[in-house]
A and B are shown apart, each in its own frame.
Chain A
Amino acid sequence: MKPLNEVISACPPSGIRRFFDIAAEMDDVISLGVGEPDFVTPWRIREAGIYALEHGYTTYTSNAGLPALRMLICSQLQERYAAEYAWDSECLITTGVSEGLDLALRVLLNPGDEVIVPEPCYVAYEPCVAFAGGVAVTVPTRWEDGFAIDVDTVAAAITPRTKAILIGSPANPTGAVQPRAALQALAELAARHDLYLISDEIYDRLTYNGVHTCLGAIPAARERTVVLGGFSKAQAMTGWRVGWICAPQPIAELCVRVHQYTMLCAPHVSQLAAVEALTSANTDVEEMVADYDRRRRVFVKGLRETGLECPEPEGAFYAFPSIRSSGLDSETFAERLLKEQGVAVVPGNVFGPSGEGHVRCSYATALPLLEQAVDRIGDFLRSL
């Protein structure tokens, strides 16, 4: 047999997989390893999906997606973050941010182009760059700096082959929110070196200390930025697979071109449910965000009381405590915690070398379980 695609063959499976396999075999596991909301999609959104199925909205939509949904997305980006996008030429609906990221990279990159990726970061960033023919160049962020992106570190990684910078804020796995000043500096750097910016803003609504900054709302970034967003986190719609891209018209147009030949369109029912999410589920979103915020405070306080150092996560639904005081590396810590105390967390090193010495704990879990998990982590640390 001839060899399969060498880029894909060379890509290692996600480090998360191994923990999934161990956790799946065990009873009495409290999982802090889940990267999705514990809320089910709010009923009014589900009900709109049922209505759409009942009434036969089971067809394709236009490639770019339902105009009503694109109009809502653009008008809310404008109202919420003062980001201006034309719904008919600068916005398309994707099957989640995952597809959006793939489209953006394919449209921006030529073979061998480099993409600077600050890490620790979401596990798909590097593989997706590689699949699009690019080369991911990771740069570290430090927990001592609250995982803020240091513009000088990024600048030092720029080469003649650098094409784009890919960031996620609020971030999975760190829960870090990039301050507006850091984004502004990054935008100016990108403009100076004529680089594109890809901004994964899937957690935009989940910020706890002030309003999110949309990179597309920063003038220096506007013409060179692809903003990715979706409904999975704030609206608890992971399984519906619906998200969006907002980008300047030449980029958006090429994204639609790839999308029309690969995905064709996002699921019609999911798009209609997303319309409902943006028209009437705002209160549900606010209530869920308030709930995450309360659990965040209880959980982080609990972690700190076990003796772990935990920077305050300002967004998403992850805490990323340092486990260096335990003397264990991330993998060993996570594996032993799971086997000895039945608490599943994700070792930080799977998100990049700067994640070593940390574990990712999702607080998208019921409060009593979080409290139990903290007790078990405390028992584990005392047993070392």
Chain B
Amino acid sequence: MREILELLERDSALSHDTIATMLGLPVEEVSARIAEWEAAGVIRRYKAVVNWEAVDDTIAREKVVAFIDVAVAPARGVGFDDVALRISRFDEVRSVHLVSGGHDLRCTVVGRDIRAVSDFVSQRLSTIDRVQSTATHFVLKTFKRDGDVFAEPEPDHRLRVTP
């Protein structure tokens, strides 16, 4: 059963039929299980991995990504949770993690340009109660994201017919 999730995590476009064949399971069982996971929120949604840096200029969108470390004063009863959730609710925030190290939260923020991200940090993020400091790291180039290497695939060097 774990394999179904692993296959979908790698390629969400796989049909239930193909998954069933791959794993030697009845297709009804695969479909039922996936429906359960969708209903239970285990499978949150199906997405494509887009390398925007490779898109041609006519449809490319200007986007700036930044990692923002946030120091937060924890509060009795909730710890960091309330602040983390508050930050999470902004659309421009793509991920929020509680981390060990110098800061408490590590967030990924996306904006139209550097100015937009900066404004978001200074106007929205820093002004939240109990946020003590932030450190912003703009992404200059993405080499790998969520297991996908954004480089030319390695060519197939094999001969076409071999023993």
Residues of A within 8 A of B (CB): 14, 16, 19-20, 23-24, 29, 31, 33-36, 38, 40, 122-124, 172, 290, 294-295, 297-298, 301, 344, 346
Q: Is the pair A33, B160 in contact by a Cβ cutoff of 8 Å?
A: yes
> For the complex, what is the distance from the CA of A176 to the CA of B21, rounded to whole Å?
20
What are 22 A-to-B residue pairs whose CB atoms are below 8 Å? A19-B161, A20-B160, A20-B162, A23-B160, A23-B161, A31-B158, A31-B161, A33-B162, A34-B159, A34-B160, A34-B162, A35-B163, A36-B162, A40-B154, A172-B163, A294-B7, A295-B22, A297-B23, A298-B18, A298-B21, A298-B22, A344-B160
Question: Is B147 interfacial (CB 8 A cutoff)?
Answer: no
The 4 closest A-B pairs by CB, nearest first: A294-B22, A33-B161, A20-B161, A23-B160
Q: Is the pair B21, A16 in contact by a Cβ cutoff of 8 Å?
A: no
Contacts of A31 in B (CB 8 A): 158, 160-161
> For the complex, what is the distance from the CA of A124 to the CA of B162, rounded to whole Å?
12
Tell me the smallest distance from the CB of A47 to a CB of chain B, in Å: 14
Contacts of A294 in B (CB 8 A): 7, 22-23
- From B3, B156, B159, B161, residue with most partner A Cβ within 10 Å: B161
Select one of A290, A297, A301, A344 contacting B161, CB under 8 A. Answer: A344
The range of chain B's interface size is 10 to 19
Mask of B87-127 contacts with A, CB within 8 angstroms, 1/0 = 00000000000000000000000000000000000000000
Question: Is B77 interfacial (CB 8 A cutoff)?
Answer: no
Contacts of B161 in A (CB 8 A): 16, 19-20, 23, 31, 33-34, 344, 346
Q: In chain B, what residue has the closest Cβ to A25?
A: B160
Q: In chain B, what residue has the closest Cβ to A17?
A: B161
Q: Is the pair B158, A36 in contact by a Cβ cutoff of 8 Å?
A: yes
Q: Is the pair A38, B158 in contact by a Cβ cutoff of 8 Å?
A: yes
Q: Is the pair A35, B162 in contact by a Cβ cutoff of 8 Å?
A: yes
> For the complex, what is the distance from the CA of A344 to the CA of B71, rounded to whole Å?
60
Residues of B within 8 A of A (CB): 3, 7, 18, 21-24, 154, 156, 158-163
Tell me the smallest distance from the CB of B80 to a CB of chain A, in Å: 34
* Known A34-B159, A40-B154; further 15 A-B contacts with Cβ < 8 A: A14-B163, A16-B161, A23-B161, A24-B160, A29-B160, A31-B161, A33-B160, A33-B161, A35-B163, A38-B156, A122-B163, A294-B22, A294-B23, A297-B22, A298-B21
Q: Is the pair A124, B163 in contact by a Cβ cutoff of 8 Å?
A: yes
> For the complex, what is the distance from the CA of A290 to the CA of B2, rounded to whole Å?
13
Q: Is the pair A16, B162 in contact by a Cβ cutoff of 8 Å?
A: yes
Contacts of A124 in B (CB 8 A): 163
Tell me the smallest distance from the CB of A188 to a CB of chain B, in Å: 32
> For the complex, what is the distance from the CA of A124 to the CA of B3, rounded to whole Å?
38
- From B22, B158, B163, residue with most partner A Cβ within 10 Å: B163
> For the complex, what is the distance from the CA of A138 to the CA of B120, rounded to whole Å?
77
Contacts of B159 in A (CB 8 A): 20, 24, 34
Contacts of A172 in B (CB 8 A): 163
Q: In chain A, what residue has the closest Cβ to B3?
A: A290
> For the complex, what is the distance from the CA of A33 to the CA of B21, rounded to whole Å?
23
Contacts of A19 in B (CB 8 A): 161
Tell me the smallest distance from the CB of B47 to a CB of chain A, in Å: 19
Contacts of B154 in A (CB 8 A): 40
> For the complex, what is the distance from the CA of A298 to the CA of B22, rounded to whole Å?
6
Tell me the smallest distance from the CB of A214 to a CB of chain B, in Å: 24
Contacts of B163 in A (CB 8 A): 14, 16, 35, 122-124, 172
Tell me the smallest distance from the CB of B4 to a CB of chain A, in Å: 11
Contacts of B156 in A (CB 8 A): 38
Contacts of A23 in B (CB 8 A): 160-161
> For the complex, what is the distance from the CA of A33 to the CA of B161, rounded to whole Å?
5
> For the complex, what is the distance from the CA of A122 to the CA of B163, rounded to whole Å?
7
Contacts of B24 in A (CB 8 A): 297
